[in-house]
Amino acid sequence: MAKKTYKGRPVLPGELTGKALVSREPFNTTVSYIDNLFGGVTDKAPCTDSDNNELYGTDLSGMILCTPQTIGSTMGGIALIGVAELGVGPKAMLFSAHIDSLSAAGLVIEDVWNEKRIITIDQLGDEFMKSVNTGDPIAIHEDGTVEVG
Amino acid sequence: MDRRQFVKLIPAGALASGSLLALNANAQDGKVQDKATGTSGGDQGKVTGPSASVKPGDYKEYMKNIHNPPGSDPFGLDEQGKGIKGFRAVGTGSNVKDRPDADKPVKMKLTREEQDILDGKQGPELAKVMKTVVEHGQLFGATELVELGGAPHSAMFSAPDYMDSCLTIFERCADAGLKAYAPYTINPRPWDLYNEEISSKEATMALDGYKLQNRLDKLHMRLGSRNRKAWSCTSYLPEVGNHPPLGTNVAWAESSAVNYGNSVLGIRSNRNAVAMELMCALIGKAPKFGLLTDEGRKAKWLIELRTKGEPNWGVVGAAIGFKVVEDVPYIVGADKYMGGKVSPESIVKLKMMGSATASSGAVGLYHVEGVTPEAAKQGRDLLAEGYQTYVIDDAELARVRGGYKNLWDDKNGKPTRVHIGCPHATFEEIRQWGVRITKALKEAKQEKVAIPVNIGCSRFVEEHFLDEYPILYRDMKRAGVTFTNICILCFSGLAGFGKLERPVTNSSKARVYTNARLYDDGPLTQIIVTGEVPS
The closest CB to that of A98, out of B59, B97, B279, belongs to B97
- Does residue A77 contact residue A102 with C-beta atoms inside 8 Å? yes
Say yes or no: B340 contacts chain A, CB-CB below 8 A: no
| CB-CB under 8 Å, A34 with B165 | no
The whole-number pLDDT of residue B155 equals: 92
Helix, strand or coil for residue B228? helix
pLDDT band at B90 (very low <50, low <70, confident <90, very high): low
Please check the confidence at residue B50 and state whether its pLDDT lies above 60.
Answer: no
User: What is the C-alpha to C-alpha distance for residues A100 and A118, in angstroms, rounded to an integer?
Assistant: 15
Please check the confidence at residue B533 and state whether its pLDDT lies above 80.
Answer: yes
Please check the confidence at residue B456 and state whether its pLDDT lies above 50.
Answer: yes
Model confidence over B214-248: pLDDT tens digits?
999 999 999 999 988 889 999 999 999 999 999 99
Q: What residues of A are in contact with residue B75 (Cβ under 8 Å)?
A: 28, 30-31, 71-73
Model confidence over B472-527: pLDDT tens digits?
999 999 999 999 998 887 777 666 666 778 999 999 988 887 788 999 999 999 99
Residue-level length of chain A? 149
Q: What's the mean per-residue pLDDT of chain B?
A: 83
Helix count and strand count (H, E) for chain A: 5, 10
The whole-number pLDDT of residue B526 equals: 98
**Model's pTM, two decimal places?**
0.86
Please check the confidence at residue B4 and state whether its pLDDT lies above 60.
Answer: no
| CB-CB under 8 Å, A74 with B75 | no
Please check the confidence at residue B46 and state whether its pLDDT lies above 80.
Answer: no
Say yes or no: B411 contacts chain A, CB-CB below 8 A: no
Say yes or no: B211 contacts chain A, CB-CB below 8 A: no
Q: What is the mean pLDDT of residues B34-46?
A: 30
Please check the confidence at residue B133 and state whether its pLDDT lies above 80.
Answer: yes
ipTM over 0.90: yes
User: What is the C-alpha to C-alpha distance for residues B513 and B67, in angstroms, rounded to an integer?
Assistant: 7
CA distance B305 to chain A (A): 29
The whole-number pLDDT of residue B28 equals: 38
Say yes or no: B203 contacts chain A, CB-CB below 8 A: no
Mutation choice for A interface testing from B97, B132, B166 by most A CBs within 10 A: B166
The closest CB to that of B60, out of A40, A50, A97, belongs to A50
Please check the confidence at residue B57 and state whether its pLDDT lies above 80.
Answer: no
Please check the confidence at residue B64 and state whether its pLDDT lies above 50.
Answer: no
Say yes or no: B124 contacts chain A, CB-CB below 8 A: no
Backbone angles phi and psi of B418, in degrees to 5:
-110, 125
Model confidence over A50-82: pLDDT tens digits?
768 899 999 999 999 999 888 776 778 888 999
Which has more pLDDT, B41 or B204? B204
The whole-number pLDDT of residue B513 equals: 76
User: What is the C-alpha to C-alpha distance for residues B8 and B202, in angstroms, rounded to an integer?
Assistant: 10
The whole-number pLDDT of residue B94 equals: 55
Say yes or no: B200 contacts chain A, CB-CB below 8 A: no
Burial label for B245, CB within 10 Å (0-12, 13-18, 19+), is: exposed
The alpha-carbon radius of gyration of chain B (Å, integer) is 23
The whole-number pLDDT of residue B415 equals: 97
* Kind plus residue range of the DSSP H or E element containing B28: helix B25-28
Model confidence over B362-418: pLDDT tens digits?
889 999 999 999 999 999 999 999 999 999 999 999 999 998 888 888 999 999 999
Looking only at Cα atoms, what is the longest distance across chain B? 73
Q: Which of A96-110, B60-74, B121-135 has the lowest mean pLDDT?
A: B60-74
Please check the confidence at residue B193 and state whether its pLDDT lies above 90.
Answer: no
User: What is the C-alpha to C-alpha distance for residues B266 and B140, in angstroms, rounded to an integer?
Assistant: 22
Residue of B nearest to A85 (CA): B165
Q: Which of B255, B290, B261 is nearest to B143 (CA)?
A: B290
Q: Which of B424, B419, B401, B272 is nearest to B347 (CA)?
A: B424
Q: What is the mean pLDDT of residues B28-52?
A: 32
Classify the C-alpha dihedral B382-B387-B393-B397 as positive or negative: negative
Q: What is the mean pLDDT of residues A82-105?
A: 93
B176's CB contacts (< 8 A; 6+ apart) are: B123, B124, B125, B126
pLDDT band at B91 (very low <50, low <70, confident <90, very high): low
User: What is the C-alpha to C-alpha distance for residues B156 and B180, in angstroms, rounded to an integer?
Assistant: 14
Residue of A nearest to B94 (CA): A101
pLDDT band at B535 (very low <50, low <70, confident <90, very high): confident
Please check the confidence at residue A118 and state whether its pLDDT lies above 60.
Answer: yes
Which has more pLDDT, B428 or B42? B428
Backbone angles phi and psi of B190, in degrees to 5:
-80, -10
User: What is the C-alpha to C-alpha distance for residues B197 and B185, in angstroms, rounded to an integer?
Assistant: 25
Please check the confidence at residue B70 and state whether its pLDDT lies above 60.
Answer: no
Beta strand A145-148 pairing with A137-140: antiparallel
Model confidence over B246-300: pLDDT tens digits?
999 999 998 899 999 999 999 999 999 999 999 999 999 999 999 999 999 999 9
| CB-CB under 8 Å, B276 with A52 | no
Q: Which residues of B261-299 are buried (b: 16+ CB within 10 A; e: fewer)?
A: bbbbbbbbbbbbbbbbbbbbbbbbbbbbbbbbbeebbbb
User: What is the C-alpha to C-alpha distance for residues A108 and B275, in angstroms, rounded to an integer?
Assistant: 11
Which has more pLDDT, B61 or B303? B303
| CB-CB under 8 Å, B63 with A72 | no
Model confidence over B141-170: pLDDT tens digits?
999 999 999 999 999 998 888 889 999 999
* Kind plus residue range of the DSSP H or E element containing A120: strand A119-122
| CB-CB under 8 Å, B255 with A74 | yes
User: What is the C-alpha to C-alpha distance for residues B155 and B272, in angstroms, rounded to an integer?
Assistant: 9
pLDDT band at B419 (very low <50, low <70, confident <90, very high): very high
Q: Which residues of A4-15 are buried (b: 16+ CB within 10 A; e: fewer)?
A: eebbbbbbbeee
The DSSP call for residue A62 is T
Please check the confidence at residue B530 and state whether its pLDDT lies above 50.
Answer: yes
> What's the CA dihedral at B479, B484, B486, B489 to 10 degrees?
30
Q: What residues of A are in contact with residue B59 (Cβ under 8 Å)?
A: 34-35, 38-39, 48
Model confidence over A5-28: pLDDT tens digits?
999 999 999 999 999 999 998 888
- Does residue A104 contact residue A69 with C-beta atoms inside 8 Å? no
Residue of A nearest to B97 (CA): A98
Please check the confidence at residue B61 and state whether its pLDDT lies above 90.
Answer: no
The whole-number pLDDT of residue B92 equals: 58
The whole-number pLDDT of residue B494 equals: 66
Backbone angles phi and psi of A4, in degrees to 5:
-120, 145
Residue B269's identity, in one-letter code, is S
Selected residues 85-114 of chain A with any CB under 8 Å from a CB in chain B: 85, 97-102, 104-106, 108-109, 111-114
The closest CB to that of A102, out of B91, B103, B128, belongs to B91
